[in-house]
Each structure stands twice: as C-alpha cells, then as structure tokens.
Structure 1
Amino acid sequence: ILTEPTITPDLVASHGLKPDEYERILKLIGREPSFPEIDERLDGERRRGREKRLHRLDATGLPDGAMIIGDDATFLALRGDAALLWSPAGYVARRSRPTGPVLVCTPPASLAALAHGFQPRWHASVTALV
C-alpha cells in the first residue's frame, strides 16, 4: 500500500522550496495540498490527453524561471533580460529575452508560484551566462 508522505521541512527543501516560500503557498491556498492534488493539477496544465499542452502568453509579463519554446523549437528559460538556451548538458547560450507572444511550457500554477516570489534553483551552468 502506498501512503502519501508526510510534509516535513526536509521534504519541502528537497523540492527546492525555502520554508518561507512554502508558508506563502499555504497562505495563498488556505490549506496544505495533498501530493495527488498537486500532481493532478500540474498534469492537467501540462497535458491534454497524451499531447503536450502549451500556453501562448506575452513574454513581457512572464516571471524569471518560466520555460518557453523558441522560434527554432529550442527550450529557453527566462531570467532577467535573457533567455537561456537549455540543453541536456545545462544552459549553453544566452539570447535576448523575447517580447510579444511566446509558447510557454511552464504550467500556469507554476507560473503563479514564480510570480509570487518562488525562486527557482538554477543549474550551475547559468553562472557563465549571466
């Protein structure tokens, strides 16, 4: 029988959240969410059936940490005035942050967390590009 894990400070930290960030999430939704609830919400925002679900949004309003698809079908993470090209080896190039409509991979719930102050943990390769 699988049981839902107890949410502990260590578990919160292992998912990249600082204690105060987790507390802000709890205040925003008014209670502690269950793991299946979070998974179901994010899965519904990521996929439509077996197809990847993308969201067309204006890049100007997107928070740092949002992942978009570039015109050349590459994955780019937004950070400051940059769009950082992602590869399996890490971030490999810096481009100018786009303006106007872009295809966003990041689920809306994750975008909201980023917009409300959640700080992503960046791969070490970012250091050479920013």
Structure 2
Amino acid sequence: MPLPDIKHDILPIENDIVRTIFCIRTLFYVSASCRNRCYEPLDVDSASCRCDSQCVETHSCCFDYQDICLLPTQSWECTALRCGERRLSGSRCHCSEDCMNAGDCCSNYNSICEGEFSQWVQDECVDMSTAKCPAR
C-alpha cells in the first residue's frame, strides 16, 4: 500500500477540521454573548447562556452579562464591548450608532467607538518633575 501524498490527501482533511472548529467556535461565541440580547425573554429551546436578571440566581449568565447589561446602568463611559450596542432603557448614556443624532452618547464615545482623539490628548505634557516658582 503506497504512503499518502501529504499535500493532497492529508491537508484537505486538516483544512476541513480547522474550518469546522472555527465555525463551531464562532457560533458558540455569538450565542454565548449578551451583545444585543440584554433582558430578552428566556428561549427555552436554546442551550445558550442567559442575559436577564434571573441568570444571576440560576448561575446561567453569559460571560459578558456584567459588562454588556449591567455596566451601562452604572457608568458614563463606553467600552469596546459597548460600541454599536442596542439601546438599553436604563443606560446613563449610550454607545449605539444613533447616539450622536439622539445627543446622548457617553463622553468618550468618539474616542472609543469612532477612533477619534481630541487635540489635548495629543499635546505634549508639561514637565512637572521640578518645582518652578513664578518670577518676582
């Protein structure tokens, strides 16, 4: 029996395995996140984690429940996870795509979600290591 040709016989199988693993991991990540799922009714047919207030009691919260669903009600800032979020009624400010039109973006929306930096951040810092008294 001849040995398999590695280029043609084995690599296609490995590529299929890698593609399958990637698809499964992507599917798991999407269903295991609270992104755009906060406080949705429980889907009993779904085996995914939960994003409602009951999940804490049942220990079934998604890994990002705190950051995606609770943090917006306690913080005035965007995080990378919040950019493009669906509006939550209890949020202090928003990181949704329409927050500029609504006028309720978090203070750091432009820098975190749009990648813009204000001029003062780019200015050089003043050396404060030695005390300098004003001239008399």
Using structure 1 for the length normalisation, give the TM-score.
Answer: 0.22
Task: Pick 1 or 2: higher relative contact order, CA cutoff 8 A, min separation 6.
Answer: 1
Using structure 2 for the length normalisation, give the TM-score.
Answer: 0.22
Structure of larger gyration radius: 2
